[in-house]
Amino acid sequence: MTIRYDGKVAVVTGAGGGLGRSHAIELAKRGAKVVVNDLGGSVSGEGANSQASLDVVAEIEALGGEAMAHGANVADLEQVQDMVAKTMERWGRLDILVNNAGILRDKSFAKGSVEDFRLVADVHLMGTVHCTKSCWEIMREQEYGRIVVTSSSSGLYGNFGQTNYGAAKMGVIGMMNTLAQEGAKYNVKINALAPTAGTRMTEGLIDEKAFALLTPETVTPAVLYLVSEDAPTRTILAAGAGAYAVAKIVETEGMWLPEAEQTPEGIAAHWGQISEGGERALQAGFEQSIKMIGQAAKGLGLDLS
């Protein structure tokens, strides 16, 4: 089975280079009409230049595809709304959104400023919110949508000097978890990519030989799968160097403590049982409540049926 996107319209943010460029070109090769969004700023989010996105559009057109450039700053809702409006004016639909745009302001938490933290969150988290919100009703009404948010191992597991980036990248996971539920009956699926790639954002941070393996082109197949018609939903797919894995947030089975032991000392005494065993991935927040109530009912001998 060949996965294609004929008749589909895709918006890829931060597509002037690196991962975004790779995503945009490969989507176009498989039949999608592509909006190449890029502010054209530096890695730290300074400046703006439309040439990068225009160059990618030219590449796509040279391959026989259709594309348009838009320089919206994803942190600015009005600019994003303009991008979506122009997409609808040109093609009349919007099927795929790949939230890829990002910046870095790496510093230890002690040395970093609140202003830098807010800027990184505005681009990565609020930028994803702006783009997704601007597409959401269109996708619901046409009963078709595929959305990717870009997370990171820095958000899932932490990385020294990236408190701001990690917080934003974990934030999009929480967004995905809820939107997957809200979009289900409208055939709107949303997933997360956790990429490892050798781009200008990681250059100099990774050994040269390893960097050479981490091409954007090895990550893009993960995006192509996550925005396909038969894609999963609410999935975190890690990708890099041609390797792929699914990341899951799991919760231990835990245990109920009698009232006399519902103290910090009681938790300490039973920490081994609380912190280990029965790990599973919950599918919605209410499942945790049901589990906790069930344990309490069993411990108290209550029949809640």
Closest CA to 192 of 229, 231, 157: 231
Closest CA to 193 of 217, 172, 162: 172
Q: Which is it for the CA torsion 172, 176, 179, 183, positive or negative?
A: positive
165 is catalytic: yes
CA atoms of 287 and 254, how far apart (whole Å):
13
For the purposes of burial, counting CB atoms within 10 Å of the CB of 91, is it exposed (0-12), middle (13-18) or buried (19 or more)?
middle
Give Cα 252 to chain centroid, integer Å. 25
State the pairing for strand pair 188-195/236-240: parallel
CA atoms of 33 and 10, how far apart (whole Å):
6
Candidate list 5, 144, 165, 225, residue with the active-site label: 165
Angle at 155 between CA 213 and CA 107, to 5 degrees: 85
Catalytic residues: 165
